[in-house]
Amino acid sequence: MLYYEVEGEGKSIVFLHGFLENHSIWNNLRDDLKDQYQIIKLDLPGHGNSKTYKEENTMEEMADEVITVLDELNIDKATFVGHSMGGYVATALADLYPERTENIVLLNSSTLADDDAKKKQRLRACETAQKNFKVLVNFSMPALFAAHHRENFKEELQFVKNIALKTPIDGVCAALKGMRERPDRSSILYDFKGGIYIVVGMNDETVNPTLFLTLIPNLPNIHLYKFDGGHMAFIEHYNEVLQILKSI
Q: Measure the CA angle with vertex 144, ends 66 and 161; round to 5°.
A: 75
- Kindly state the average pLDDT of the residues 99-106: 98
Predicted confidence (pLDDT) per residue in 215-237, tens digit: 999 999 999 999 999 999 999 99
Predicted confidence (pLDDT) per residue in 21-33, tens digit: 999 999 999 999 9
Q: Are 98 and 220 in contact (CB under 8 A)?
A: no
Residue 93: strand, helix, or coil = helix
Give the pLDDT confidence score for residue 81 in this predicted structure.
Answer: 99
Lowest mean pLDDT among 50-54, 154-158, 181-185, 218-222: 50-54
Q: Are 27 and 156 in contact (CB under 8 A)?
A: no
pLDDT at 61 over 90: yes
Predicted confidence (pLDDT) per residue in 104-150, tens digit: 999 999 999 999 999 999 999 999 999 999 999 999 999 999 999 99
Predicted confidence (pLDDT) per residue in 177-194, tens digit: 999 999 999 999 999 999
Please give the span between the terminal C-alpha atoms of the chain, in angstroms, as a whole number: 28
Q: Are 90 and 81 in contact (CB under 8 A)?
A: yes
Q: Which residue ranges form the domains of the chain, and what is each CATH number?
A: 4-246 (3.40.50.1820)
Give the pLDDT confidence score for residue 53 in this predicted structure.
Answer: 87
CA pair distance 194, 92, nearest whole angstrom: 14
The pLDDT mean for the chain works out to 97
CA pair distance 16, 41, nearest whole angstrom: 7
Is 194 buried (19+), middle (13-18) or exposed (0-12) by CB count in 10 A? middle
